[in-house]
Chains A and B, each alone.
Chain A
């Protein structure tokens, strides 16, 4: 049917008497139609939002309220909690210990994330080149490391670095003749975080390796082959072809690692029990625990936790914005 109502002018065609008419552009205001089915997606969201609100939202609100209260152990058992305004926040912000903990957490996080990303990516690249058998072997090994609970891993690593009976000291003394008799790995804060970083990185590399590997399998072989013919060496191929393809994967993984490593708790907490000095090795997670549950100052601990939540949300927000930007491109 010839559309006589079309606003477009008919273009001439090679066929006699035929006029090619451009299709009608979609109506500009499709708002009504969207609204018709509009409730369904929201209804589908309800269950997950309800679950999130119950298990994350409610405690978060409680935490927020608590951070403005004088909340001690008596309040845990039911005594009324008086509101004290911003006192808890004021106490934290002038406390030197808090800033040291914050700085320490960021530094530790930075080292762990960089090391995890580099190691994970290298392992993923290696998996691309390995034969079937060794790739399977490596995958199983990675999965086992990923499957090991952080607490178990920390205790095992703690034994490896034990002062009296640890295998590391034993090897350094007996195989290399170094003076590591009864060397305490945890007493010096830097060395403590060296051990902690090994445990955290060891636990996090499998996730990065698997994710990057999954991404690598999606990079088209033709493009890589073409660039190879053009004379690109392997580093140039990674930088100019693989990296742009995997950019969004790297972004997601880095952000997740930053958040995980910033709020690291189990490994540091368990390691502090084995050795080391607590007030020189606290990170955000263990500091909140020590202040709130250890010394019973739940209000102050709550305020530190709120500040931590805000920092984490800022990082997540950056991630969400970046991923929306990527979608728009």
Chain B
């Protein structure tokens, strides 16, 4: 008999848990009555708080009774999440999407056609590469949001101690990273976790290689070409000799290693500066006291000058299933206004408009950003490229390269998989 209460307790707990599980799965449908609620999906922490605040207050002042909610999503699994949410009845109204992912949705009809808003949103002042990424079948679906540049951040003290200056060529950069790692055992001369494939692209491009090139109607993957292979060999060299990062790790939270002194140098998007310099009591703490010690430069190319880095960045679009397309478009107009975009510039992100480039300022990061952005390059322009990214085959490839795998065999295998997705 005395066991009965225990069993009962267990049963109650199980029922309660089942209830919880059902509760979290239920989509939270909102109905704001007369005033509409506009939901904006921003991805990652790139967009500064000042910009978020500006968007919310400006929109709500201009549209009394309506509210605007910003929901922050993570970059991991974004394509999946957008696919399921944009096609459902509970679609967000305005969404940010990675520029290389945009065509997966513009081609599928997930976004509202903004062609007649093109001039009002900025016209030819908008970043051309991003306009192209957001255009499908001559219709304009997704506007540029911002562009990021990849920069090299380094620990000035450690570099001086090792007698290193700012490298002029890619080879010097690699040699410098190896020298730093050799002088500081157990630390990263160039921090490079295996899943970070974006950083590998400049090595491929600088050696004259490509990921995939169009071949008539089809795509021809190029990772196993002699040029690309030379780049991948360099990637492996850096990952195995200069980096002490986990071979299968992600590139999230690079500031942790920089702040505890185990990362002496790393290549990362320009906004990482603010992650590193975040207050020590922030939700993701940084180390503001290191400001004087934080050096930055644009990744050098194989023959000097800035390397061709990956033009990471975002587009922003209105969901085709938005319940309030007009209000959503108004929110989009605020996002592309000079005031909003200036906040991006002031925070080290390249604004969506060419005319606002000067807002980046003239400090070290700004100069390096401008230099890197001028030579940025994109991934293959196929609507199926987003699927290549989402399949995880690139992260798998570079984890295996970081482990010291046979580059030729891995590149050949990856080429087969890339072609089967792009041409599938």
Chain A residues with CB under 8 Å of chain B are 73-74, 76-79, 135, 139, 143, 146-147, 163-164, 181-182, 184, 186-187, 210, 214, 217, 272-280, 289-290, 293-297
Question: How far, in Å, is A318 (CB) from chain B's closest CB?
Answer: 25
Q: Which of B10, B249, B390 contacts A163 (CB 8 A)?
A: B249
* Interface CB pairs A-B, < 8 A, 12: A73-B83, A73-B387, A76-B83, A77-B87, A78-B109, A139-B6, A143-B9, A184-B246, A187-B399, A210-B7, A279-B393, A294-B387
Please state if B104 and A296 are interface contacts (CB–CB under 8 Å). Answer: yes
Please classify the interface of chain B as helix (H, G, I), strand (E, B), loop, or mixed, using the class held by over half of its residues: helix
* Seed contacts A77-B109, A182-B246, A275-B250; 4 additional CB < 8 Å A-B pairs: A74-B107, A214-B3, A279-B396, A295-B387
**Bound-state Cα–Cα, A48 to B83, Å:** 32
Q: Which residues of A contact B84 (CB under 8 A)?
A: 293
Interface residues of B in 380-403 (CB under 8 A from A): 384, 386-387, 390-393, 395-396, 399-400, 403
Query: Whole-angstrom distance from the CB of A173 to the nearest CB of chain B?
Result: 12
Return the contact of A147 from the options B17, B80, B391, B421 (Cβ within 8 A): B17
Q: Within the assembled complex, what's the spacing in Å between the Cα atoms of A203 and B400? A: 31
Q: Are A147 and B13 closer than 8 Å at their CB atoms?
A: yes
Contact check, B392 vs A290: say whether CB atoms are below 8 A apart. Answer: yes
Given contacts A74-B107, A76-B108, contact A187 B248 (CB under 8 A): yes
Most buried by B among A78, A139, A146, A295: A295
User: Which partner residue on chain B sits nearest A187 by CB separation?
Assistant: B248
CA distance A210 to B10 in the complex (A): 8
Assembled-state Cα–Cα distance A187/B109 (Å): 39
A278 to B403, CA, bound (A): 14
CA distance A293 to B84 in the complex (A): 9
Instruction: Give which listed residue, A76, A164, A214, contacts B87 with CB less than 8 A.
Output: A76
Using a Cβ–Cβ cut-off of 8 Å, how many residues does chain B contribute to the interface with A?
Answer: 46
Interface core residue of A76, A181, A186, A296 (most chain B CB under 10 Å): A296
Q: How far is the CB of B423 from chain A (nearest CB, A)?
A: 13
**Which residues of chain A are near B362, meaning CB under 8 Å?**
none
A296/B387 in contact, CB under 8 A: yes
- A129 to chain B minimum Cβ distance, whole angstroms, is 14
- Please report which residues of chain B, range 1-56, place their CB below 8 angstroms from some CB of chain A when the two chains form the complex: 3, 6-7, 9-10, 13-14, 17
Let me know if B110 is at the binding interface, CB within 8 A.
Answer: yes
Task: Specify which chain A residues have a CB less than 8 angstroms from the CB of B86 in the assembled complex.
Answer: 77
- Which of B14, B248, B392, B421 interacts with A186 by CB under 8 Å? B248
Query: CA of A143 to CA of B7 in the docked complex: distance in angstroms?
Result: 11
Which residues in B have their C-beta under 8 angstroms from that of A139?
6, 9-10
Where chain A touches its partner, the secondary structure class is helix
What CA separation (Å) do A76 and B83 show in the bound complex? 8
Interface 1/0 per residue, B97-116 and A, CB below 8 Å? 00000001101111000000
Chain A residue nearest to B21 (CB atoms) is A149
Q: Is the CB of B108 within 8 A of A146?
A: no
Q: How far is the CA of A164 from the CA of B247 in the complex (A)?
A: 11
CB–CB A77/B249 < 8 A? no
B320 at the interface (CB under 8 A from A): yes
| Minimum CB distance partner of B80 in chain A | A293
Query: Contacting B248 at CB < 8 Å: which of A147, A184, A296?
Result: A184
Q: How far is the CB of B149 from chain A (nearest CB, A)?
A: 26
Q: Does B306 interact with chain A (Cβ within 8 Å)? A: no
Residue numbers in B under 8 Å from A295 (CB-CB): 387, 390-391, 421
**C-alpha gap A143/B6 in the complex (Å):** 11
Question: How many whole Å from B139's CB to the nearest CB in chain A?
Answer: 15
Q: CB of B216 within 8 A of chain A? A: no
Known: A74-B107, A77-B108, A294-B391. A187 touches B87 (CB 8 A): no
Interface membership of B424, Cβ < 8 A: yes
Closest chain-A Cβ to B344's Cβ sits at a distance in Å of 28
A76 to B86: give the CA distance in the assembly, Å.
9
B409 CB-CB contact with A under 8 Å: no
Q: Are A143 and B247 in contact (CB under 8 A)?
A: no
| Interface membership of B160, Cβ < 8 A | no
State the Cβ distance, B268 to closest chain A Cβ, in Å.
17
Inter-chain contact A217/B3, CB cutoff 8 Å:
yes
State whether B399 touches A277 (Cβ < 8 A): yes
A189–B3 Cα distance when bound, in Å, is 43
Q: Is the CB of A273 within 8 A of B400?
A: no
Q: Are B108's CB and A73's CB within 8 A?
A: yes
B247 contacts which chain A residues (CB < 8 A)? 184, 187
Closest chain B residue to A278, Cβ basis? B392
Contact status A73-B76, CB under 8 Å: no
Please tell me if the beta carbons of A290 and B320 are within 8 angstroms of each other in the complex: no
CB distance from A123 to the nearest CB of B (A): 14
The complex places the Cα of A177 from the Cα of B225 at a distance, in Å, of: 45
Tell yes or no: B244 within 8 A of A by CB.
yes
Are A74 and B6 closer than 8 Å at their CB atoms? Answer: no
Given contacts A77-B86, A294-B80, A294-B392, contact A276 B248 (CB under 8 A): yes
CB of B396 within 8 A of CB of A277, answer yes
CB nearest to B74 among chain A residues: A273
Q: Are B391 and A143 in contact (CB under 8 A)?
A: no
**Mask of B55-85 contacts with A, CB within 8 angstroms, 1/0:** 0000000000000000000001001100110
The 7 closest A-B pairs by CB, nearest first: A163-B246, A275-B248, A278-B392, A295-B387, A187-B248, A293-B80, A294-B390
**Smallest CB separation, A7 vs chain B (Å):** 49
Closest chain-A Cβ to B407's Cβ sits at a distance in Å of 16
Contacting residues, chain B, for A135 (C-beta < 8 A): 6
Asked if B10 and A277 make an inter-chain contact with CB atoms under 8 angstroms apart, the answer reads: no
A164/B108 contact (C-beta < 8 A), A290-B391, A293-B80, A294-B392 known? no
For residue A300, give the distance in angstroms from its CB to the closest CB of chain B. 10
Complex contacts, A187 vs chain B, CB 8 Å: 247-248, 399, 403
- Are the CB atoms of A277 and B246 closer together than 8 Å? no
Tell me which residues across on chain B come within 8 A of A164, comparing CB atoms. 246, 249, 257, 262
A217 to B5, CA, bound (A): 13
Residue picked from A77, A163, A182, most chain B C-beta under 10 Å: A77
CB pair A79–B109 under 8 Å, yes or no, is yes
Whether B246 contacts A275 by the Cβ 8 Å rule is yes
The CA of A163 and the CA of B421, in the complex, are separated in Å by 32
A76–B104 CA distance with the chains assembled, in angstroms? 12
Residue of B nearest to A276 (CB): B248
Residues of the B chain whose Cβ atoms lie less than 8 Å from the Cβ of A184: 246-248
Given contacts A76-B87, A77-B109, A294-B387, is CB(A143)–CB(B250) below 8 Å? no
Query: For A186, what are the chain B residues with a Cβ–Cβ distance below 8 Å?
Result: 248
With a CB–CB cut-off of 8 A, which chain B residues contact A73?
83, 104-105, 108, 387
Q: With A and B bound together, what is the CA distance between A48 and B248 in angstroms?
A: 47
- Which residue in chain A gives the minimum CB-CB distance to B386? A296
